Amino acid sequence: MRYLLLAAIRIYWLIPKSKRRTCLFKKSCSHFVFEAAVNHGTVAGLKALHYRFKTCRYGAVVYINPSSGKAEMILANKDIITHDKISDRLLFNCQHPCH
């Protein structure tokens, strides 16, 4: 089963990046799932896929945390991630100084 998951991701990677959906996270969803499956097995890979499927969606909001002055993002499922996990393209497009 793990090899099927890894093969599906490798096939996905054959699609040109310009044709794929862009990810909210610094480590892309496919790389996150691939790494989880390789390092921790099929179940971990499927859990990673489920988590990213639920969270890497429109509706996420990047904001500046007033306490730290750094960018954070509220995901669609209401999880909050720190600036070091947010895609550089989102930090670059931020209206305020995000670093």
Global pTM reads 0.80
Kindly list the averaged pLDDT for each block of 10 residues, start to end, along the chain of length 99. Answer: 93 92 88 96 95 84 90 90 88 59
What tokens appear for 74 in the block?
């509220």
Instruction: Provide DSSP, the chain.
Output: -HHHHHHHHHHHHTS-GGGSPPPSBSS-HHHHHHHHHHHH-HHHHHHHHHHHHHHSSTT-EEEE-TTT-SEEEE-TTS-EEEGGGB-HHHHHT-SS---
Domain boundaries, the chain: 2-13+22-92
**Cβ-contact 40, 47 below 8 angstroms:** no
pLDDT at 94: 62
